[in-house]
């Protein structure tokens, strides 16, 4: 019987794998779905060979050990997948990626399988989805509408049920707009929460990956895997502690609407109904002035800030590229004339407007908006590609400039209109919870939902996968994020008279070596309970990995190493156990 996975969510894939369906069978079923997609959704063929290789690697792993075991996904083609071309939607720009983008690597380490690369507005410049030499993906809800962009193919692949989630990018609304127009959930994370290493930049300091899915739960599950600092991304940042939102939150709604916002009557009707639903669910609704936020958003294209697009890919475009979209070429080409003085003045103005817009958060916890103010048609965009694109982004462009997080959920099923929920940075998880309450019709009552943030911990000995104490991680829902080594600044010792046998790791200034380790992910509460159980002489400190990143992990108090055997020469605890004939005893 042929496996049909169309429309499956993440839990459907995980349940199937737990019940005996192989990742290899899943890959073949998904590849059939990809082959049936409109030609404009993917760029190039599905990633058949690498997807099959990933499935083969999973065959030896317990499905319960990885949170996204066997789950297929696609990525926007400005995101690197090792061994495959990255084009950013421009054939003449194509290069073969030598490594996965950080977020792709994290997803694959979590068991997910990348199966394709998707179409986009070229160089992620556009919000309409029509600026690509590969054609325009269809809007799955209304054929007369554009699909939205720039992450057009990523949205359409999920909306057509080919994969449960996809990854796009969002600088001015490039994730939220196509999600809205195709009836999807989208998470635009806090800037720096998810690494952009391995992603062709648009406006580098404002870029962030975005997650598309059909449910809030699936978006949250993906966000947990891809979040976290990354030394390869200079704009990455660790999660910050912020004041929790009130729960139920106070939600701000534009009243009156700014005169220059041309709100489509149908969208206004749907939006008013959505706000009434939020009020029925327990939220407090208050009128707010969104004028300062919209003025801030105008800075992205109405000032010298637009020159950042030229800083990203302007040199390549200036030399001429095969398949270059004329609208994209004009936008980026016109931005090269900004002077340094204009750029600085733009920065000063940006700081002023950001401070004014931030006053909104002293009044409300969350801002609710339609994602787009109009329903952009293919015909209208063809007639006025610049003007319609500008209007489409009117309610989204300010979000990254204001350092906010945002979640989009469908206002109603099968409508090309998304309810956009916006809050200050690091409130991503609360926005997802609010969006989930709205979609499910659940009362927003009781305590604020707990954050779904996670922690990493480096293990070096008996907690390694398959060794005697590993259950202390897996029992807490932990999963192995990465197998790697420390930097060359450590020595490893076998501690005497420990049961089960345990090593001690010590950082040294000279004479160190790289030691094999595993990086595991735990929830914040689970991390705390795990650390509380660590016995002396082991302790938790900060460990530097070979890639320069730093994580909490196992070290040893110096006094315990005085009588311990130095086993650094083995390069890791497993190799020592095998050499010492202790491997079977440890297992």
The CA–CA distances, whole Å, from 447 to 47, 463, 480 equal 44, 35, 31
Q: What distance in Å separates the CA atoms of residue 493 and residue 504, rounded to the nearest whole number?
A: 5
Q: What distance in Å separates the CA atoms of residue 214 and residue 145, rounded to the nearest whole number?
A: 20
- DSSP per-residue letters across 124-146: G--SSS---TT--PPPSS-TTB-
Residue 5 domain-assigned (yes or no): no
The CA–CA distances, whole Å, from 396 to 174, 175, 224, 283, 297 equal 9, 10, 24, 22, 8
Tell me, what CATH number does 471's domain have?
3.10.490.10
pLDDT recorded at residue 438: 97
Residues 409 and 475 grouped into a single domain = no
End position of a domain, from candidates 440, 464, 494: 440
Residues 119 and 231 grouped into a single domain = yes
pLDDT recorded at residue 333: 80
pLDDT recorded at residue 586: 47
Residues 459 and 414 grouped into a single domain = no
Q: What distance in Å separates the CA atoms of residue 256 and residue 252, rounded to the nearest whole number?
A: 12
Tens of pLDDT, residue by residue over 370-394, are 999 999 999 999 999 999 999 999 9
Residue 446 domain-assigned (yes or no): no
Residues 419 and 469 grouped into a single domain = no
For residues 305-333, one letter each, b for 16 or more C-beta atoms within 10 angstroms of the residue's C-beta and e for the rest, the string is bbbbbbebbbebbeeebeebbebbbebbb
Residue 19 main-chain phi, psi, to 5 deg? -95, 10
Residue 65 domain-assigned (yes or no): yes
The secondary structure element, H or E, covering residue 2 is none
Beta carbons within 8 Å of 213's beta carbon, 6+ residues apart: 9, 10, 158, 164, 165, 166, 184, 185, 219, 222
Below-70 pLDDT ranges, the chain: 446-453, 582-587
Structurally, the chain folds into a number of domains equal to 2
pLDDT recorded at residue 82: 98
Say if residues 104 and 336 touch (Cβ distance below 8 Å): no
Residue 447 domain-assigned (yes or no): no
Residue 4 domain-assigned (yes or no): no
- Catalytic residue ranges: 76, 150, 174
Tell me, what CATH number does 50's domain have?
3.90.1300.10
User: Which residue segment(s) compose the domain that 554 sits in?
Assistant: 454-586
CA 496 from centroid of its chain's CA atoms: 44
pLDDT recorded at residue 474: 87
Residues 283 and 339 grouped into a single domain = yes
Q: What distance in Å separates the CA atoms of residue 67 and residue 10, rounded to the nearest whole number?
A: 9
- Asked if the bond preceding 500 is cis, omega within 30° of 0, the reply is yes
Residues 400 and 524 grouped into a single domain = no
End position of a domain, from candidates 440, 462, 490: 440
Q: What distance in Å separates the CA atoms of residue 297 and residue 323, rounded to the nearest whole number?
A: 30
Residues 386 and 472 grouped into a single domain = no
Beta carbons within 8 Å of 300's beta carbon, 6+ residues apart: 171, 172, 203, 206, 306, 397, 401
End position of a domain, from candidates 385, 405, 440: 440
Say if residues 197 and 233 touch (Cβ distance below 8 Å): yes
pLDDT recorded at residue 583: 54
């Amino acid at each position: 019987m042929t496996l049909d996975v169309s429309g499956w969510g993440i839990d459907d894939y995980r349940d199937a794998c737990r019940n005996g369906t192989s990742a290899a069978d899943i890959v073949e079923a998904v590849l059939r779905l990809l082959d049936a997609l409109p030609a404009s959704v993917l760029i190039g063929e599905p990633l058949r060979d690498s997807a099959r290789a990933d499935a083969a690697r999973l065959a030896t792993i317990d499905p319960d050990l990885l949170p996204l075991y066997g789950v297929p996904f696609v990525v926007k083609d400005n995101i690197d997948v090792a061994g495959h071309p990255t084009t950013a939607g421009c054939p003449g720009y194509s290069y073969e990626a030598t490594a996965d983008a950080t977020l792709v690597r994290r997803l694959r380490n979590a068991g997910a399988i990348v199966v394709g690369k998707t179409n986009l507005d070229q160089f992620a410049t556009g919000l309409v989805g029509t600026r690509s030499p590969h054609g325009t993906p269809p809007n799955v809800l209304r054929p007369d509408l554009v699909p939205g962009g720039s992450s057009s193919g990523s949205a359409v692949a999920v909306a057509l049920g080919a994969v449960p989630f996809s990854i796009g990018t969002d600088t001015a609304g490039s994730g939220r707009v196509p999600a809205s127009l195709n009836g999807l959930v989208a998470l635009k994370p806090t800037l720096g929460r998810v690494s952009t290493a391995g992603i062709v930049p648009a406006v580098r300091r404002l870029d962030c990956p975005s997650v598309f899915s059909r449910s809030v739960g699936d978006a949250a599950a993906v966000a947990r895997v891809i979040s976290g600092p990354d030394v390869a991304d200079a704009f990455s940042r660790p999660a910050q502690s912020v004041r929790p939102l009130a729960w139920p939150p106070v939600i701000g709604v534009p009243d009156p609407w700014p005169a220059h916002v041309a709100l489509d009557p149908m969208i206004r009707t749907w939006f008013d109904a959505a706000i009434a639903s939020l009020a029925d669910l327990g939220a407090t609704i208050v009128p707010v002035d969104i004028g300062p936020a919209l003025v801030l958003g105008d800075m992205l294209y109405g000032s010298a800030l637009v020159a950042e697009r030229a800083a990203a890919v302007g040199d390549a475009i200036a030399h001429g590229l095969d398949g270059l979209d004329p609208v994209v070429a004009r936008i980026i080409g016109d931005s090269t004339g900004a002077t340094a003085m204009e750029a600085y003045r733009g920065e000063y103005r940006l700081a002023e407007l950001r401070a004014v817009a931030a006053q909104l958060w002293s009044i409300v916890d969350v801002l609710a908006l339609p994602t787009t103010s109009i329903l952009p048609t293919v015909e209208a965009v063809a007639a006025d590609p610049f003007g319609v694109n500008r209007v489409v982004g009117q309610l989204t462009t300010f979000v990254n400039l204001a350092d906010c997080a945002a979640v989009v959920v469908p206002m109603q099923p099968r409508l090309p209109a998304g309810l956009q929920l916006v809050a200050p940075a690091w409130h991503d998880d609360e926005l997802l919870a609010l969006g989930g309450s709205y979609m499910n019709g659940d009362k927003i009552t009781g305590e604020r939902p707990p954050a779904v943030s996670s922690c990493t911990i480096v293990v070096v000995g008996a907690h390694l996968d398959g060794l005697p104490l590993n259950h202390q991680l897996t029992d807490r829902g932990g999963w192995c994020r990465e197998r790697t080594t420390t930097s060359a600044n450590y020595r490893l010792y076998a501690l005497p008279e420990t049961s089960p046998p345990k090593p001690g790791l010590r950082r040294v200034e000279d004479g160190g070596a790289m030691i094999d380790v595993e990086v595991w992910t735990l929830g914040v509460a689970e991390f705390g309970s795990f650390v509380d159980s660590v016995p002396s002489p082991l302790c938790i400190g900060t460990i530097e990995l070979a890639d320069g990143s730093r994580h909490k992990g196992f070290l040893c108090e110096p006094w315990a190493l005085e009588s311990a055997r130095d086993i650094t020469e083995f390069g890791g605890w497993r190799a020592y156990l095998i050499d010492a004939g202790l491997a079977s005893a440890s297992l």
